[in-house]
Amino acid sequence: MYKEFVGILCFLFSACLLQAQDAKERGLQSINRTSAEAIVGFLADDELQGREAGMHGSRVAARYLAAFLKDIGVAPLDRESYYQPFEACAREWQQKGRFQVHPDSIALYKQGAYRSLRLNNVLGMIPGKRTDEYVVVGAHFDHLGVDETLAGDPIYNGADDNASGVSAVLQIARAFVVSGQKPLRNVIIALWDGEEKGLLGSRYFTMSCPFIGKVKGYLNFDMIGRNNKLDCPQHVVYFYTESHSAFGEWLKQDIRTYGLDLKPDYRPWDRPVGGSDNASFALLDIPIIWYHTDGHPDYHQPGDHADRLNWDKLTDITRASFLNVWNLANEPVY
């Protein structure tokens, strides 16, 4: 009887493992180049006028992102709306200084002449079994807007920076839905507003989030579609929190297992507080992973167009990062 009982347990355990593997495969296979091209193509179109934070093009982008999440079946984080509205303020432009979201700074600026931006993060959530644990995957959707005094092309389309990263977040969200498996932890899908003006959206989120102490990991994208090294188009920089060596091993194993055409530059960092929205989380000692394909001549230039992206690399980075997020959401410890 004991042997039969043990045999049944082993069978059930194996069946659960196979089911989980099948779910992950379903999600992985849903990620594709066509979707990447469609998402980036819309966000980087001239009609969105460079998606400057607080301007019309950025608001259009936010509505597109919310509609995408609703269409694939990802619910809003706060149950009422996909939008997390917030205000950012700065001194009158001649006095210089960056926009701030902290209430004390805003109160100080409002004592005199000041500038104000009304912004919106776009936030969704895939519920997990552990309702008190979270992982976040995010990318900023704003860029630099339009300079009407610029001769020739006046629009800073931001295809790589950061429509490419947004496309990865949206495909990962859909992959979790397609998998059909409830993750162990809640997965927050985050599209940040105002990064180009000082990481405003991610700073507001981490400052105001009531459960920020229960966020177990954050994965960030910022520019993942270009070729910095022409002789190595598979190049991608992989930053991760150094104390979490498993993050590096995950990517190495997944590249071998799934044949991903990537050549990562692994850069463990004791506290990754620079560069992008990862800083807002790393400052709170939340473990991070950050994908980046390095700078290029079109960085923060009007030439950052969609037709210059390496679509195959963008797609494989998205697949690799889905596997990362799957681990962040499902590994009991890391």
What's residue 274's pLDDT? Answer: 87
What's residue 9's pLDDT? Answer: 43
Domains (range + CATH), the chain: 31-84+121-330 (3.40.630.10)
Q: Omega of the bond prior to 162 within 30 degrees of 0, cis? A: yes
- φ, ψ of residue 201 in degrees (nearest 5): -65, -45
Sign, CA dihedral 80-31-25-137, equals negative
Inter-residue contact 298 to 308 (CB < 8 Å):
yes
Complete DSSP assignment for 263-279: EEEEEEESS--SSSTHH
- Dig out the tokens for 4 from the structure: 């039969």
Q: Work out the number of other CB atoms within 10 angstroms of the CB of residue 86.
A: 21
Amino acid at 1: M
Residue-by-residue pLDDT tens, the chain, 334 positions: 555 544 544 444 444 454 778 999 999 999 999 999 999 999 999 999 999 999 999 999 999 999 999 999 999 999 889 999 999 999 999 998 999 999 999 999 999 999 999 999 999 999 999 999 999 999 999 999 999 999 999 999 999 999 999 999 999 999 999 999 999 999 999 999 999 999 999 999 999 999 999 999 999 999 999 998 889 999 999 999 999 999 999 999 999 999 999 999 999 999 999 899 999 999 999 999 999 999 999 999 999 999 999 999 999 999 999 999 999 999 999 9
Q: Which residue intervals of the chain are DSSP H helices?
A: 2-29, 33-43, 56-72, 103-109, 165-179, 200-208, 246-258, 278-282, 311-330
Instruction: Give strand pairing partners of 265.
Output: 237
Greatest CA separation for the chain: 83
What's residue 8's pLDDT? Answer: 47
Rg (CA), the chain: 20
pTM (2 decimals)?
A: 0.93
Amino acid at 13: F
Angle at 186 between CA 185 and CA 187, to 5 degrees: 110
Q: Work out the number of other CB atoms within 10 angstroms of the CB of residue 181.
A: 17
What's residue 300's pLDDT? Answer: 98
What's residue 1's pLDDT? Answer: 56
- Dig out the tokens for 333 from the structure: 């410890």
Instruction: Give strand pairing partners of 130.
Output: 185
Contacts of 241 (CB under 8 A, 6+ apart): 247, 268, 269, 270, 271, 272, 282, 287, 288, 289
Q: Work out the number of other CB atoms within 10 angstroms of the CB of residue 75.
A: 14
